[in-house]
Amino acid sequence: MNRRALLAGAGQLALVLSVASGPAARASAGADSPVAITRQGRVRGFVDRGVRVFRGIPYGSSTAARRFMPPQTAAPWRDVRPALEYGLSAPQAQSREPMSEDCLYLNVWTPAVADGQRRAVMVYFHGGGFASGSGSSPLYSGVNLCRRGDVVVVTVNHRLNVFGYSFLEKQLSAKFRGGGNAGQLDLILALEWVRDNIAAFGGDPSCVTLFGQSGGGAKIATLMAMPAARGLFHRAITMSGQQVTAAGPNASAARAKVLLDALGIAPGAEDALGRIPIEKVLEAARSRDPLLAPGNLHFGPVLDHRSLPRHPFFPDAPAQSAQIPMLLGNTHDETRNLIGGSHPEYFALGWEGLGARIDLELRGRTDIDGDLVVAEYRRIYPAYTPTQVFFAATTAGRSWRGQLIEAELRAAEAGPTWVYQVDFPSPKDGGKWGAPHGIDIPLAFDNTHEPEAITGNAAAASPASSSVAVRLTQASAS
């Protein structure tokens, strides 16, 4: 692979996004109750538009008794377990869903159960960085993907933020080894569940594609460098989500000390950690970060030299995943909602002070003179307004930089790699958002009809979504 091949792949994706096909089907619940047999026990689901749906299947036991530690497999059960409702989401700030440390659940959509078929499996990891989100959003419903592509779809809940990525072993004891990557180890446990059980749901455990948007893509990039994930997936699609480097062990240990001080936990008193209410742990996690000030404590994957022995994509692409086909890309206007969503004044910027504003927004991500950036954009794109320059520059510095690094490193190792850009514009609010962060989610799932979809469900959205969904399922099966 070389730069020309990568750019050719991007062009092919752009064509994919403009091809039309039929509208999405109307939702209606079926009457039958399919039962699937897992290694832990039987689960009973329901039917939605001909697709068998199983929600809230436990793949791990409650993490409450193992707070800040690696997960354990779910205990078996005797009776048929109802799988009709989503599992609880991981503890997080400002969640609209019920939360619990008993959060290791996954959901399955499949065209048929135990019919002897071996369908491609598509496992989706949700966004929200490493801090928030769940696999229960209506945008992640796998019904239309199943109907379009005859695949099995899985979404996953796992530990996040302080609960999933606290590196306590240096501050406390070896009891907490692996805790700095507990959220990633949750995902590996979920993929082991897929390996061991997905055949009962009509899936092929030897044909598993991971796909994820934003933080979900970053989780996939990290798994590509984790030895315990080797062999558990066979294709990777990262959508607006990269992870070139992880947090170092010393920085993570410094953050752990701030956290423990905020909780009042001294060495030797580690048993008290499990008795602190969730709300107080989340509050302590909002302490000032000692390295990324101003800002709250950062929690994400940790280079612990065991579960994650190297950075995901530094100094090169991980050799263990070199032959895994990878598709990665971004949207044209990532930061119009990532930054502009909370700063409406940025849609009326002037030239004065624009470079300083770009410097402020890209602080900690890239170190380049903002005035020089503005001058170059004005030279190359003389028709751009100050607002257009701001969002183009911050999209390039915040979102595209990591993706280009990963793509170039994959090309250097001759890994099968394709890149893309989503140009499909959102019609909402007069088109001010362009093709923003997250617009690829309803396109990929063929769920533009959902109220949360920023694509809207206008005449152009559904055909484009159907086309993308069909091609993603084809790529997963090929």
* Cβ–Cβ < 8 Å for 9, 417: yes
**Edge-first strand listing for the sheet containing 35-37:** 35-37, 42-44, 81-82
User: Residue 365's pLDDT is what?
Assistant: 78
- Cis check for the bond before 325: say yes or no (omega within 30 of 0): no
CA distance 464 to 16: 8
* Cβ–Cβ < 8 Å for 221, 241: yes
The predicted-structure confidence for 328-367, as pLDDT tens digits, reads as follows 999 999 999 999 999 999 999 999 999 999 999 988 778 8
Please give the C-alpha separations between residue 55 and each of 87, 110, 158, 296, 390, in angstroms, as whole numbers: 7, 12, 15, 34, 42
Q: Residue 127 pLDDT > 70, yes or no?
A: yes
pLDDT tier, 457 (very low <50, low <70, confident <90, very high otherwise)? confident
Residue for token pair 């019919």? 115
- Of the options 3.40.50.970, 3.40.50.300, 1.10.10.60, 3.40.50.1820, the CATH number for the domain spanning 3-340+409-477: 3.40.50.1820
The predicted-structure confidence for 235-254, as pLDDT tens digits, reads as follows 999 999 999 999 999 999 99
User: Residue 451's pLDDT is what?
Assistant: 86
Q: In the chain, what are the domain boundaries?
A: 3-340+409-477, 344-391
CA distance 112 to 47: 10
User: Residue 179's pLDDT is what?
Assistant: 95
User: Residue 243's pLDDT is what?
Assistant: 96
Catalytic positions: 214, 334, 437
Q: Average pLDDT in the 142-162 region?
A: 96
User: Residue 458's pLDDT is what?
Assistant: 64
As given in the structure block, the two tokens for residue 266 are 């001294």
Instruction: Provide the Cα torsion 384, 241, 313, 402; round to 10°.
Output: 10
Nearest 5°: phi and psi at 122?
A: -120, 115
Q: Select, from the ranges 220-229, 260-269, 355-364, the one with the highest average predicted confidence (pLDDT).
A: 220-229
pLDDT tier, 456 (very low <50, low <70, confident <90, very high otherwise)? confident
Q: How deeply is 119 buried, as exposed, middle or buried, from its count of CB atoms within 10 A (0-12, 13-18, 19+)? A: buried
* Cβ–Cβ < 8 Å for 87, 55: yes
Hey, which residues does 238 pair with through a beta bridge? 212, 328
Q: Residue 26 pLDDT > 60, yes or no?
A: no
Q: Closest by alpha carbon to 231, among 188, 263, 169, 180?
A: 188
Q: What is the average pLDDT score of the chain?
A: 90
User: Residue 459's pLDDT is what?
Assistant: 62
User: Residue 464's pLDDT is what?
Assistant: 63
pLDDT tier, 454 (very low <50, low <70, confident <90, very high otherwise)? confident
Question: What are the DSSP E strand ranges found in 359-431?
Answer: 417-422
Helices and strands (H and E) in the chain: how many: 14, 12
Q: Residue 472 pLDDT > 80, yes or no?
A: no
Say what the pTM is: 0.90
pLDDT tier, 117 (very low <50, low <70, confident <90, very high otherwise)? very high
Higher pLDDT, 19 or 413: 413
Question: What are the DSSP E strand ranges found in 191-273?
Answer: 203-213, 235-239
Q: Average pLDDT in the 291-308 region?
A: 91
pLDDT tier, 303 (very low <50, low <70, confident <90, very high otherwise)? very high
- Cis check for the bond before 315: say yes or no (omega within 30 of 0): yes
